[in-house]
Amino acid sequence: MNDTTKGRLYGVGVGPGDPELITLKAARLIAAADVVAYHSGAGKRSNARRIASDLIPATAVEEELVYPVTVGTTDHPLGYEGALADFYETSAARLAGHLDAGRNVVLLAEGDPLFYGSYMYMHDRLAERYAAEIVPGIPAFAAATVAAGSPLVRQTDVLTVLPGTLPEAELARRLADTDGAVIMKLGRTFPAVRRALATAGRLDHALYIERASMPGERRLPVVEVAPETVPYFSLILVTGDSRNGRRSRTKAAARPAETGTTAETGTTAETGTTAPPKPSAPAELLVVGLGPGPQEWLTPEATAALATVDHVVGYRAYVDRVPRRPGLARHASGNTVEADRARFALGLARDGEKAAVVSGGDSGVFGMAAAVFEAAEDPAYADVPIRVLPGVSALQAVAARAGAPVGADFAVVSLSDRLKPWEVVERRLRAVAEADLVLAVYNPASRSRTTQVAEARRVLLAHRKPETVVVVGRDIGRAGETLTVTTLGQLEPDTIDMKCLIVVGASATRVSPAGRVWTPRWVVS
């Protein structure tokens, strides 16, 4: 890095397209460069060179780095990624030759060098061997925002920058979960991006900008864009909720996704008109159990109810399981803020919004139903009606896979001591063991709770034989599910995690010759 006999590498951002948007520092370095390098597509002019053309000195050596492939089709033995890797290695070697000879190399980058820029691949390969400096540039979305003539985000809006190359469903999820958005890398991805915008309920507030700050700049609503006209140098802006109103993502279902007609939203992007007054009567809040995972284990009642709401509230893993559709606002949060989620959902319902709180399994079994009723004791939510929709519980799923281990009397205990002291958990385990009940154990372990399974096993073994049948179900109903039948004496606590549910049999629980676990309904005193 300190070898003064070697040249210096500069990654220079030349901005979005207008040469007058090049920074003074970038202009100075380009004008003094020994070597000016730039990327281009096969058979195409380099846009970065076009922007900086008036600054490149006649004495500079120009290195055009031509991509071997840009559309993902190649006969390279390692495919598209292999072809690009070889290209970057070859390009880096070309630039290294100049740097070794003591020549300074300015590598031009459209927009900003480190924002979806090609420069970064050269930086990865050269910066450890040569002195390297990066000069930031104005990114394309900043110029596009100016072209739109409208603030992209303001106040507490969250901005998300997304590549249009994301899978359509993932793009829709992220669009639904943010306030403002920038979608880059269009071209051939445009049809899928448009469908994702419609699915997320964001199409009405999406503006297409083509060649921002360049000659031929074009801007129009996404619904009016012909897909075959979309070049790579284009992007989409979705203005934030402070512009469109809190319900900008909750009423798009009033419009067919691809008709281009106007949706009924709280405000309009064109006029900024105020949303109609909220209903005076609270809406019914639904608390929905989604089952253990498979779509076929979601009840028809739950499916029908989720199709009627405008808001879904829950732990992110559960919210992600609710089918996306236009107009559905998704409010995801972490796994330890049940009370906050409950109050938020109750507030929506109090204001007349149709909302559902979702839980995995059955919401009434260590789920959100109890948290909602607890929060509803606040007089502020006294008028909110609450309806709980049952779901297939994790216990039912594991028991069905195993056979019929809970065919007789059973108890259910959570090993989590986050809301109750461990002494209480231990006392209940001891009572269940003494009563000779089948025991289902929820929340056996987590990253921060690593000793409870071993402690529970110790307590149970004080009252149960080591030969007592134990079933461990992990991710039942999901990809990679496992079901292990073992005994209390052979149970290995270190193999248990939060994805597991444990069923400890009673003294009468048995295993059939076919390996099915069941507990007789009769009891011999």
Q: How far apart, in Å, are the Cα atoms of 336 and each of 291, 316, 339, 342?
A: 20, 11, 9, 12
Q: Is the pLDDT of residue 415 over 70?
A: yes
Please tell me whether residue 472 adopts helix, strand or coil conformation: strand
Domain 9-137: which CATH number of 3.40.1010.10, 3.10.180.10, 3.30.450.20, 2.40.10.10: 3.40.1010.10
How does pLDDT run across 57-83, given as a tens digit for each residue? Answer: 999 999 999 998 766 567 777 777 888
Q: What is the pLDDT of residue 247?
A: 40
Q: What is the pLDDT of residue 37?
A: 97
pTM over 0.85: no
How does pLDDT run across 130-175, given as a tens digit for each residue? Answer: 999 999 999 999 999 999 988 888 888 899 999 999 988 788 878 8
Beta strands (DSSP E) in 67-190 are: 105-109, 132-135, 159-163, 180-184
Q: What is the pLDDT of residue 154?
A: 87
Where does the chain hold its CATH 3.30.950.10 domain(s)?
A: 142-249, 395-518
Poorest-pLDDT segment among 197-206, 354-363, 382-391: 197-206
DSSP characters over 297-322:
GS-HHHHHHHTT-SEEEEEHHHHTTS
Homologous superfamily of domain range 395-518: Tetrapyrrole methylase, C-terminal domain (3.30.950.10)
Residue 233 banded pLDDT, cuts 50, 70, 90:
confident
Q: What span, in angstroms and rounded, lies between the C-alpha atoms of 484 and 503?
A: 10
How does pLDDT run across 285-328, given as a tens digit for each residue? Answer: 999 999 998 889 999 999 999 999 999 999 988 998 998 887 78
Q: What span, in angstroms and rounded, lies between the C-alpha atoms of 65 and 91?
A: 6
The mean per-residue pLDDT over the stretch 346-360 comes to 95
CATH class entry, domain 142-249: alpha beta
Written as six digits, the tokens of 221 are: 């609503």
Q: What is the pLDDT of residue 261?
A: 24
Q: Is the pLDDT of residue 453 over 90?
A: yes
The mean per-residue pLDDT over the stretch 435-454 comes to 92
Q: What is the pLDDT of residue 200?
A: 79
Q: Are 9 and 130 in contact (CB under 8 A)?
A: yes
Q: What span, in angstroms and rounded, lies between the C-alpha atoms of 425 and 431?
A: 10
Where does the chain hold its CATH 3.40.1010.10 domain(s)?
A: 9-137, 285-392
Mean of all residue pLDDT scores within the chain: 88
Residues forming a β-bridge with 209: 219, 235
Q: What is the pLDDT of residue 251?
A: 38
Domain 285-392: which CATH number of 3.40.1010.10, 3.40.50.10490, 3.40.50.300, 3.30.2270.10: 3.40.1010.10
